Amino acid sequence: MREGNYMKVIIVTDGSYGERAYKTIKEEFDCDYVVMEAPPSSFMDEIQLPPETMAHLEKADILLTYVLHPDLTLDLVDALHDKVEWIIVGAWRGEGFKNQLESYGNVTCPENMCDLTENGNPVFDKFVSKFGRPVVRVNCQGDKVVEVEVLRCSPCGSTNFVAQEMVGEDTENLPIKAGLRIQHYPCRAPKMRLFTDEEPKKEMAANLHKEAFQKALKNKK
């Protein structure tokens, strides 16, 4: 990581996924959004990685990929893992592929982008101090919520959405309301096939936000 608090985050995609994360993350960090051309076939012997694009991606401290094509994802990780501090793979499919990617050492393939937590790497932890598993602070007057402060937001911005929706609500059943409300946020994670067999992505996101509000109520002002 470079001097001071500066951090460069680059989001790379081969489609439309990642734009919400870009809009959210750029509020905290210097963030670029790079669109690469998706390979025409799911089975490619060799993928050409544009030199200019690769030179730009090498400038990242945190590289966040929403690339859906698995061969392109693997080629990017292979080419860049020793050039950047950490790679977060937001779109992957299958435990075997996940294990292959994470074997590079500085690669994380979260089950859900809402579930990122610190891992001990200072650069990764700096990113996750702002984005990952939601953390909120609830301010109340009596049993009425007057303010919800987002301390750590989901990368897609859903925590900010829920926080705004909860202002004015009664504290009774607030965590349940927050979990239900997240269902109304246009989450794209299921479309990226990022869910495990046990728990669909939106249900996981709902539970993580429910837990965030449960913890916040225990410490409410």
Of the candidate ranges 28-32, 132-136, 166-170, 190-194, the one whose mean pLDDT is the lowest:
190-194
- Mean pLDDT, residues 92-97: 89
* Residue 204's pLDDT band (cuts 50, 70, 90): confident
Structure tokens at 200: 């669909």
- Mean pLDDT, residues 186-212: 66
Among candidates 138, 126, 137, 135, which has minimal Cα distance to 154? 135
In what side-by-side order are the strands of the sheet with 107-108?
Answer: 30-35, 8-13, 62-65, 86-89, 107-108
> What is the overall mean pLDDT for the chain?
87
What angle separates helix 201-218 from helix 174-181, to the nearest 10 degrees? 150
Among candidates 37, 100, 148, which has minimal Cα distance to 87? 100
State the number of CA atoms in the 13 A half-sphere of 215 facing the CB: 13
| Per-residue pLDDT at 190 | 46
**CATH superfamily assigned to domain 8-109:** NAD(P)-binding Rossmann-like Domain (3.40.50.720)
CA distance 54 to 83: 10
- Per-residue pLDDT tens for 2-17? 555 689 999 999 887 8
* Residue 33's pLDDT band (cuts 50, 70, 90): very high
CA distance 197 to 46: 31
Among candidates 146, 126, 124, which has minimal Cα distance to 137? 146
Coil/strand/helix, residue 95: helix
- pLDDT score of 195 more than 50: no
Q: Where are the domains of the chain?
A: 8-109, 135-218
Among candidates 202, 180, 179, 178, which has minimal Cα distance to 189? 202
Structure tokens at 126: 């700096």
- Per-residue pLDDT tens for 115-141? 899 999 999 999 999 999 999 999 999
CA distance 144 to 126: 33
